[in-house]
Amino acid sequence: MSGARTIVSVLAALVLSAGVSAPALQAQAQAQGLIQALAPAQASTQTPAQAQAQAIIITNAEIHTISGEVIQGGTIVVEDGRITAVAPAGTAPPTPPNARTIDAGGRIVTPGFLESSTQLGIVAMGAEPGPADATVTNPRVTASFNVLDGFDPNAMAIPVTRIEGITRAIVRPNPGVSLIAGQGILVDLRTGDAVVERVHANPVGMFAVLGQGGSARAGGARGAATQQLREALQDARDHDQNRSAFEAGNRRDYAFSRLDLEAMALVLTGEIPLVVQVHRASDIRAALRMKEEFGIRLILFGALEGWMVADEIRDAGVPVVINPMLNLPGMESLGATLENAARLHEAGVTVALSSFDTDNARNLKQVAGNAVANGLPHDAALRAVTLTPAEIWGIEERFGSIEVGKEADLVIWSGDPFELDTRAEHVIIAGREIPLESRQIDLFNRYRTIGGPGGPGGPPR
């Protein structure tokens, strides 16, 4: 029996090590009526379901539309995957037949959250061998690298993430031997769809790194990194303007492959933004100068010292994606502060929030809550994980707010979304209600009644 107890202890420890407490897991499991000890660990969350978009009516809801006023006691109607009505209390909007009604009981309803920087579906476990489709070490494949072909819609981290109210994500590459990492994509996190249905095929951005990370890949100096990125843009522009001459062999050699140059042309034409990971204030200024020089769209990632040059970022019309919980100073971020988000927002900079994580992308609401605790207004924080990132990535016509005509990504919360003890009670993605199941919950239910060193039915000590 001691061997069985040891196995139980190890499995329970693995579940708990992901940062989810046993009471929280139990509450989620009980809320969903999940079975206990006899369910196999490989539950339905690992097998694509064939759920279809549902007709849903959410009544008696505190609706945070994001794009407008908060509606108390309101009604939301969902049909064919889209929002067809958002009505205040006392009105009766048209409703489809055979619709499922969810009484929100006065609870808060928000749009689904959008995580702007993760590697869900392309990295299994960062510390262990396994699928790692985020990085390329071939110097002939940089800008042309797209994470789409490596995306796994059945990755175990996806259910763990979506049950925390995150319904869409930007999946991005990591820089390898080049400071240009490649192209990122937008995915939704629902269950049971082929990749082509779940992934929006067009890339959302070209990802690169400057500062310390860029200099390490460009020969050791920041100036070399900036020059290498500038060369890529110059070569792409020359190639795009002289393709016939290039194909005929009447053009100079380029530092990048043909496919990389064609991909970088998407940045020059404005089809996709250049997304630059950068932290130091001087490096941020270098990125802003490059935007001005080439007339491109720019998004700043990280920007730990962004508050120090907030006025310049605002005047350049450049949005930032930051994790406000990152405040440990390094040699390129001596000015890091927990008030970064609040100060940038106060200066008028467009701010989106991100966990910059994969296994813990689920903690996005905690990231936003910490921003609020350090001065970011609550409504600004809620916008920074919904409509603002949708605007930054150019998808605001479809997602990010609760409006008629938009895809129905909705979350009903048990309380304030940014409180630690709040959980998502209902998650709807593109009109489909998602089962609140994950491998963590499956393991918890399978082993919780067997017991362990902490006593029968309890977590291990």
| Domain residue spans of the chain | 2-43+437-447, 113-399
% of the chain beyond a pLDDT of 70 = 82
Supply the pLDDT for residue 103. 98
Distances, alpha carbon 364 to alpha carbons 292, 323, 326, 353, in Å: 32, 9, 13, 8
Based on DSSP, count helices (H) and strands (E) in the chain, helices before strands. Answer: 15, 16
**pLDDT band, very low/low/confident/very high, at 453 (cuts 50, 70, 90):** low
Closest by CA position to 357, among listed 148, 105, 171: 171
The third-level CATH classification (topology) of the domain covering 113-399 is TIM Barrel (3.20.20)
Q: What is the CA radius of gyration of the chain?
A: 23
Q: What is the pLDDT of residues 235-281, one digit of tens each?
A: 999 998 888 777 777 788 888 899 999 999 999 999 999 999 999 99
**pLDDT band, very low/low/confident/very high, at 39 (cuts 50, 70, 90):** very low
**pLDDT band, very low/low/confident/very high, at 227 (cuts 50, 70, 90):** very high
Distances, alpha carbon 307 to alpha carbons 48, 333, 391, in Å: 44, 11, 21
Supply the pLDDT for residue 244. 77
Closest by CA position to 362, among listed 25, 23, 67: 25
**pLDDT band, very low/low/confident/very high, at 329 (cuts 50, 70, 90):** confident
End-to-end CA distance of the chain: 17
Q: What average pLDDT score do residues 371-391 get?
A: 99
Residue 459 or residue 385, greater confidence = 385
Residue 168 clears pLDDT 80, i.e. is over it: yes
183 burial class (0-12, 13-18, 19+ CB within 10 angstroms)? buried
